[in-house]
Amino acid sequence: MKQTWWKESVIYQVYPRSFKDSNHDGIGDINGIREKLDYLADLGVDVVWLSPIYASPNEDNGYDISDYQAIMKEFGTMEDFDALLNEAHQKGLKIVMDLVVNHTSDEHQWFIESRKSKDNPYRDYYIWKEGNQDHYPNNWGSVFSGPAWQYDEATNMYYLHLFAKKQPDLNWENKAMRQSVYDMMTWWLDKGIDGFRMDVINMISKDQSFPDGEKNGGLYGNCSPYTVNGPRVHEYLKEMNKEVLSKYDILTVGETPGVSVKDAMGYTGEDEHELNMVFQFELMDIDLGQYGKWTPVPFDLCKLKAVMKKWQTGLENKGWNSLYWNNHDQPRVVSRFGNDHEYHIKSAKMLAMCLHMHQGTPYIYQGEELGMSNVRFDSIHDYKDIEILNAYKELVEDKKVLSEQEFMKGVYSHSRDNARTPMQWDDSAYAGFSEVQPWIAVNPNYTSINAKSQVNDPDSVYSFYKQLLTLRKQYKIMVYGHYEILDEENPNTYMYTRTLEQQQLLVLCNFTDQKQTVEIPNDLLKEAKVFITNDIEKPLEKIMTLNPYESVTYIL
Ligand code: TEU
Ligand code: CA
């Protein structure tokens, strides 16, 4: 298997709006990130992925871009960004930007032009359709509730928006539009950035017949069969690779909802010349119910292990895995798959070790390294995320398919604002994120969960992550070792091995708040040393009793 820097790297995701506010307007900014580069370098990460920092009206917190080559005014200036990039490189940190080209903001100049008239040169930069007798061009629903089509008076037509109304989908069938995207990408890469995370990149090619989707009990037709992994998506990515990506030594990771291992091979296979890796969503979908994240179900560890095994064995020696529990769209993992009360610290460490011992590039989302957890605001009105607010309006107020308290249960356990509360730097007011009330309330547990109380504590979650990252740099087996699962059927523990030449790692994780007894296969009962543990060191024996949320890796 080809060895390369982006396989050996650890990537830290910064959500700039919530990371650090340097000018005390309650909103995170670029100069705030500059203040914390040493914190990131000390943690030991190699790459920093910035969620969008481009000009945006912030309908979807920057994932609705109005100018790809200007900085969002709340975040600062292009000079601030140039300084950030330079300082990051000086500290040995690479900077990866978020490429959002499935859609723009409706305030982007291209869309302002496109909606002016049917013969405007930019008309076909977007997807316009006539309505039909029962109204919309088809029955597709938006990810952010409601129909996926918006009527536009000026030309008496509808435009497609798979996300918010203010996020019109770009028309990738249009070569001139594609070239505009490639020119913009080149402009950023020529500034010296180190790669792109590509937002819903597997949705850019749509089935041009735009057929109705299956309703199967939903409110709208399911458009996924016609918008995910579409007919020309690989053609476009091969073109993007040829025109832009192949000219630079960069990291590219596609955000690809709904991909299978087979699909992922099509995007990341070394001989496909498209992307380096993708974010799969199978793991993130294991605890969603009838109305998705709004009706969550308890997670089943055997399902989690089955997904991990499928992707570890499916991509081995052919593609490459991204390893993540968290990002700005997902609830905090210690609250989701761990225990954010009695075993908060222990389970946060267990989850960190469990993830980082797999084969792939690990991603750390801001605050994960502190064990930051989900939040519970008193009222729906304390929440900011358009996805939450639109779903509340549709499911609770309009269609009344869920009661307020049913819906709030989903908000507390699975909504995106769980990940977007301000980074908890210390126990001062507003957690040291800002000196004024931030754009979204701070999680009240900042007084006990914050960086200041952890960076010098050898027993903290932060120090445990730092230890994992140090080990990754010293032991190639963590990156390249062959994965084998040992306990597929056990609903309480997760045990697997990694093997590289004569060396082996044996990973034992207890995912419960009860002691669990496990039996070690005879062929693994060799001379063993504790590689890392979140508990007291103990020798490897045939029968091991793991304490609640104990996780230990042995090197054999
Ligand atoms: O997210 C894509 C995606 O899958 C979203 O639908 C998101 O995961 C949602 O929570 C699913 O219920 C990307 C960005 O990460 C997200 O922040 C943006 O809102 C979205 O695309 C549109 O740009
Ligand atoms: Ca600010």
Average pLDDT over residues 162-174: 98
Report the CATH architecture of 8-104+175-380+418-468: Alpha-Beta Barrel (3.20)
Letter string b/e over residues 30-42, b meaning 16 or more CB atoms within 10 A of that residue's CB? bbbbbebbebbbe
Ligand 1 surroundings by CB, under 6 angstroms: 60, 63, 100, 143, 163, 199-200, 255, 257, 293, 328-329, 387, 416
Tokens representing residue 517 in the block = 């007894």
The alpha carbon of 63 and the centre of ligand 1 are apart by a number of angstroms equal to 9
Does 3.40.50.300 match the CATH number of domain 109-160?
no
In a mutational test of the pocket of ligand 1, which residue from 329, 386, 388 has the highest number of ligand atoms less than 8 Å from its CB? 329
Among this protein's residues, is 169 annotated catalytic? no
Tell me the pLDDT tens digit for each residue of 309-363.
999 999 998 889 999 999 999 999 999 999 999 999 999 999 999 999 999 999 9
Tell me the pLDDT tens digit for each residue of 112-147.
999 999 999 999 999 999 997 768 999 999 999 999
Residue 162 CA: which ligand 1 atom is closest?
22
- pLDDT tier at 515, thresholds 50, 70, 90: very high
pTM of the model: 0.98
> Between the CA of residue 457 and those of 123, 239, 450, 454, 488, what are the distances in Å?
58, 49, 12, 5, 35
The alpha carbon of 312 and the centre of ligand 1 are apart by a number of angstroms equal to 24
Tell me the pLDDT tens digit for each residue of 414-471.
999 999 999 999 999 999 999 999 999 999 999 999 999 999 999 999 999 999 999 9
Residue 293 CA: which ligand 1 atom is closest?
12
For the CA of 414, the nearest ligand: 1
45: left (phi over 0), alpha (psi -120 to 50) or beta: beta
Q: What integer pLDDT is reported at residue 397 of this predicted model?
A: 97
In a mutational test of the pocket of ligand 1, which residue from 162, 200, 294, 389 has the highest number of ligand atoms less than 8 Å from its CB? 200
- pLDDT tier at 218, thresholds 50, 70, 90: confident
Q: Whose CA is nearest to atom 18 of ligand 1?
A: 63
Kindly report the CATH number that applies to the domain delimited by 480-555.
2.60.40.1180
Among this protein's residues, is 212 annotated catalytic? no
For β-strands 322-323 and 361-365, DSSP reports them as parallel
59, 74, 169, 199: the active-site residue: 199
What percentage of the chain reaches a pLDDT higher than 70? 100
Q: Whose CA is nearest to atom 16 of ligand 1?
A: 329
The alpha carbon of 503 and the centre of ligand 1 are apart by a number of angstroms equal to 40
Tell me the pLDDT tens digit for each residue of 226-268.
999 999 999 999 999 999 999 999 999 999 999 999 999 999 9
Same fold, 109-160 and 480-555: no
Radius of gyration of the CA atoms of the chain, in A: 23
The alpha carbon of 253 and the centre of ligand 2 are apart by a number of angstroms equal to 28
46, 59, 255, 340: the active-site residue: 255
Average pLDDT over residues 84-91: 98
Angle at 360 between CA 551 and CA 235, to 5 degrees: 150
Sequence ranges of the domains in the chain: 8-104+175-380+418-468, 109-160, 381-417, 480-555
CB 224 within 8 A of CB 258: yes
**Considering only 22-36, 99-113, 129-143, 394-408, which range has the smallest mean pLDDT?**
129-143
